[in-house]
Structure 1
Amino acid sequence: MTESLDSERMACWRAYIEASQRLFTQLEDDLRADGGLSFADYHVLVLLSEAPGQRLRMGELAARLVFSPSRLTYQISTMQRRGLVARQSCPGDRRGSEAVLTAAGLLALREAAPGHLASVRRHLMDDLDDVEVATLTRVFDRLGRRLRADRDASSTHRDT
């Protein structure tokens, strides 16, 4: 049987879960109200806008979003119907496909970005001092690296 968390760690866990859910919900509500985008829409648009040629292979995009292939297919399909992205065959590998940012998608991102930044500042960053920002960055960078390594190791183990 797994050992229980002590009271300090349980309080930390519950505070994290509740605050992170409230923060995510608030940020998504603000994005939807300001520009009709979901948080997933916004994240896809950001990743594509930063990619060379404003395009990414579907597998790479799914990995960066931490989406299953089917969830990404659904996400891209809904964004494609709204004209925010296109799906095209990979130039060097016709078997694969890429998500490509459209002019309408770039415009939607540019219009949503200032409001989203204001929301992130208002609901998170303005409440943190420099030491807290550095601590959270260190904690979540380390956690993200470990979780990615664990996932990579488990997928490698499943493939053998």
Structure 2
Amino acid sequence: MTDAGGPLDPRELRAWMAFLAAGHLIDHEIERQLKREADLSHPEFEVLVRLRMAEGNRLRMSHLAREAMVSKSRLTYQVTQLERAGLVKRTGCESDRRSVWAELTPEGIERLDRVRPGHRQLVRETLIEVLSPEEIDLLGDALTRVADRLRAR
């Protein structure tokens, strides 16, 4: 292991700068596609996807915040925006009055279903098609280790 406080060597710096550039550029392209096709931000899209994947298309807000990896206050803002657009509704939890459910509305399902094909195509064009199958596996494994380490904090 290298000195944690020392400068990055050229190889490490190249990897870090490439990671930052690719992440920013891909995120920018995704943001543009989602705004153009569905008037959604990338964080709003992620909330809709998480709800769509959940049983009954709903999650407790606290669980949704963990799933979407955002703070509760940021999630509240996103859900408020989605609620105003008629894509999500909040309801009280019958078994725990302190909890609130976020639930996808039929309009939210329709909007998500409409934008997903273009989103998938963009992910393929900007990332998947650029890499070999072996590189996709390596990238998936490496970024999973990074995420696991950060979640453990």
Tell me the TM-score normalized by structure 2.
0.95
1:137 to 2:151 alignment: no
CA distance, structure 1, for counterparts of residue 101 and residue 87 of structure 2: 14
State the match for 2:106 in structure 1.
103
What's the secondary structure of 2:91's corresponding residue? strand
CA distance, structure 2, for counterparts of residue 50 and residue 37 of structure 1: 18
State the match for 1:115 in structure 2.
118
The Cα shift of 1:63 comes to 1.1
Match of 1:41 among 34, 41, 44: 44
Q: Deviations over 1:46-74 (max 9, x none)?
A: 11011011111111111111111111111
What's the secondary structure of 1:99's corresponding residue? strand
State the match for 1:91 in structure 2.
94
CA distance, structure 2, for counterparts of residue 149 and residue 120 of structure 1: 28
CA distance, structure 2, for counterparts of residue 79 and residue 121 of structure 1: 27
State the match for 1:57 in structure 2.
60
The Cα shift of 1:91 comes to 2.3
What's the secondary structure of 2:5's corresponding residue? coil
What's the secondary structure of 1:46's corresponding residue? helix
Q: How many residues align?
A: 150
Percent identity over the alignment? 37
What's the secondary structure of 1:44's corresponding residue? helix
State the match for 1:68 in structure 2.
71
Q: Deviations over 1:102-149 (max 9, x none)?
A: 000000000000111111111111111100000001001111111111
RMSD (Å) for aligned C-alpha atoms: 1.1
What's the secondary structure of 1:56's corresponding residue? strand
Tell me the TM-score normalized by structure 1.
0.91
- Runs of at least 5 residues in structure 1 that lack an aligned partner in the other structure: 151-160
The residue identity in structure 2 corresponding to 1:144 is A
State the match for 1:77 in structure 2.
80
